[in-house]
A and B are shown apart, each in its own frame.
Chain A
Amino acid sequence: MLLDYDRLGWLKVALLGFTTLVAAFLLLPMVFIVLLSFGSSRWLAFPPPGWTLKWYEDLFADPSWIEAALTSARIATMTAILAVAIGLLASFGLVRGDFRGREILRGLLLTPMVLPVVVFAIAVYAFFLRLGLGGTTAGFVLAHTVLALPFAIIPIATALEGFDKSIEDAAIVCGASPLQAKLRITLPSIRIGIFSAAIFSFLASWDEVVVAIFMASPTLQTLPVKIWGSLRSDLTPVIAAASSLLVALTLALMIVTALLRRKLQT
């Protein structure tokens, strides 16, 4: 009866209790950071002696935070567009292609996801220094697109595998060109996969720390680089304010994803 929720007996109480604890553990950092960002203590005393919006005011008064956030948004958007476009084309090749070495190519394209980021970071750092791409937006976007590509390919290829190709063929039989059939039949059918790919590759760039630390220059830094720099000097509550906004952004992204999925599925 171990896989029957209603007949677990005392085990259910124990397991549910444990699961609740783990859920609290998972939520703890986010809840804590949001509370802390409104606390008045410069030294992060908790519970806070009073409540304030000072850290948010400090955050918005400092143009370097705003600039870093805008830089991140710009780089992540370009990365997502590039990764989805390249990943979409590649997925068709991987799913539909009929050539030798397909599995090897798939493995190669997914390798950036498993190789420790620090190895890729120093490799691409050295390479871009030589090419003169170090510290440039183009360098950031290219390096992030490499890291984001697996996150774009996996959902799109999965969606494409689940799509019945005979529907596309039927459109061609009815007189559509192969390109028309792909654009008007296949792409709308795998839109959930494409949408997930866009979200995941955006996040892969937006949250990326290690490559960014190496790639950043005094004039071009992303939000994670800015947070990293502040964390290494002191634990100012301004970081808590910035972090709370990032938590809010994650929540917003989750809600939008859930709503869009529901809408796209119907």
Chain B
Amino acid sequence: MPVQAQQGIASPRTSAGLGGLAPALILIGLFFVVPVLALLLRSVTDPVAGLQNYAALLGDGTYARVFFNTFLVAFVVTIVTVLVAFPVAWMLAIMPPALASLLFSIIILSMWTNLLTRTYAWMVLLQRTGVINRALMSVGIIDQPLPLINNLTGVTIGMVYIMLPFMILPLVGTLRAIDPMTLRAAALCGASPFAAFRRILLPLSLPGIAAGGLMVFVMSLGYFVTPALLGGTSNMMLAEMIAQMIQSLLNWGLGSAAAFILLVVTMALYALQLRLVGNSRATGAA
């Protein structure tokens, strides 16, 4: 009997936990899981039952181009973001606190400012008669304005701008977790700065780079706003194509099938990212 009584005390806590989760589960179940599943169902039933929507998407050159563009942009954006973010995160990790908090404020300001505001700024900056083209022309680097907008160049610049904070901030954490003594030891043993970078700093920050890079890649794949505003009509990306299929063409079958492909790719990469983060945590703890 005492054992049962103890269980009687322990079980309310457990069920209280579940009870607390109820509102969240109802919200997510009813307004997230059900709509997404209904969309999935629509992709194989609209206009008739079958896989014809997927066949159409995967068999057509126009759509193949959109998929290719999307992966290309996401890939280039990720590489550029990693290359730009690493030195900044490196400095942030070791800079004097006053300087670091100033830099953090700039990053947060950029991150928290309305997405459309930032994209609008780039639309004006990058246009044919924009500041950047004028500056380059007045310095004499170019004598014709460069086409910086309505193409993949514009999308890449705008996307790198948006993704930078998402790469810098987690990388600072990774770099701060590295023990400076390992690098001091390398220097004492005669390693050149370059060798110390290549053989110690870079390998130790690789889990952070991989996790952050994968996150940027996944976010870029499904991004809608910036590609729609800075990109051109001839090189559309996947999210924009999905929106257009639904909003302008009212082709629900094709649109939901494309959305489902995006969902599967995203979730698979996200699962990979979770494993990477988990592994880096495990090695960090070891």
Contact = CB atoms under 8 A, between A and B. Distances in A.
A196 B25 CA distance: 22
A250 B112 contact: yes
23 contacts: A3-B180, A4-B94, A18-B88, A23-B103, A29-B125, A89-B20, A89-B22, A90-B21, A93-B18, A97-B17, A108-B28, A109-B28, A111-B28, A117-B224, A118-B224, A119-B39, A125-B246, A145-B31, A146-B31, A207-B114, A210-B243, A224-B115, A227-B116
Nearest to A128: B35
Contact of B123 (A45, A105, A122, A235): A235
Contacts, number: 276
A214 B116 contact: no
A15 B90 contact: yes
B110 interface: yes
A254 B31 contact: no
The A interface is mostly helix, strand or loop, or mixed, namely: helix
Given A126-B35, A127-B34, A105 B21 contact: yes
Nearest to A102: B17
Contact of A11 (B119, B178, B193, B200): B193
Interface of B: 13-14, 16-25, 27-28, 31-36, 38-39, 42, 84, 87-88, 90-96, 103, 105-110, 112-125, 127, 129-131, 134, 161, 164-165, 175, 178, 180, 183-184, 187, 193, 196-197, 200-201, 218, 221-225, 229, 239, 242-243, 246-247, 252, 255-256, 259-260, 262-263, 266-267, 270
A180 B183 CA distance: 52
A13 B120 CA distance: 33
Given A146-B32, A243-B121, A26 B164 contact: yes
A60 to B, nearest CB: 18
Contact of A33 (B120, B127, B196): B120
Given A4-B180, A23-B88, 5 more contacts: A18-B87, A19-B87, A30-B109, A98-B14, A254-B105
B35 A124 contact: yes
Interface string A107-151: 011011011111111111111000000000000001101100100
Contact of A98 (B17, B84, B94, B180): B17
Interface in A147-200: 149, 153
A127 B38 contact: yes
Contact of A120 (B32, B112, B161): B32
B263 A149 contact: no
A246 interface: yes
B187 A1 contact: yes
Nearest to B38: A127
A246 B21 contact: no
A43 B90 CA distance: 41
Contacts of B13: 96, 98
B35 A142 contact: no
A28 B225 contact: no
Nearest to A208: B115
Contact of A109 (B24, B34, B270): B24
Contacts of B256: 122
Contacts of A224: 114-116
A2 B161 CA distance: 27
A115 B266 contact: yes
A240 B116 CA distance: 11
Contacts of A126: 35, 38-39, 42, 252
B24 A23 contact: no
A30 B28 contact: no
Contacts of B88: 18-19, 22-23
A61 interface: no
Interface in A82-114: 85-87, 89-94, 96-99, 105, 108-109, 111-112, 114
Task: Rank and list the top 5 A-B pairs by shortest CB-CB distance, nearest first.
Answer: A116-B222, A97-B17, A29-B121, A93-B21, A90-B24
Contacts of A93: 16-21, 24
A203 B35 CA distance: 24
A112 B32 contact: yes
A75 interface: no
A231 B14 CA distance: 51
A51 interface: no
A168 to B, nearest CB: 12
A264 B69 CA distance: 48
A33 B125 CA distance: 10
A36 B27 contact: no
Contact of B259 (A32, A96, A119): A119
A243 B246 CA distance: 29
A105 B103 CA distance: 37
Contacts of B129: 43, 45
A33 B117 contact: yes
B183 A250 contact: no
Contact of B183 (A3, A25, A33): A3
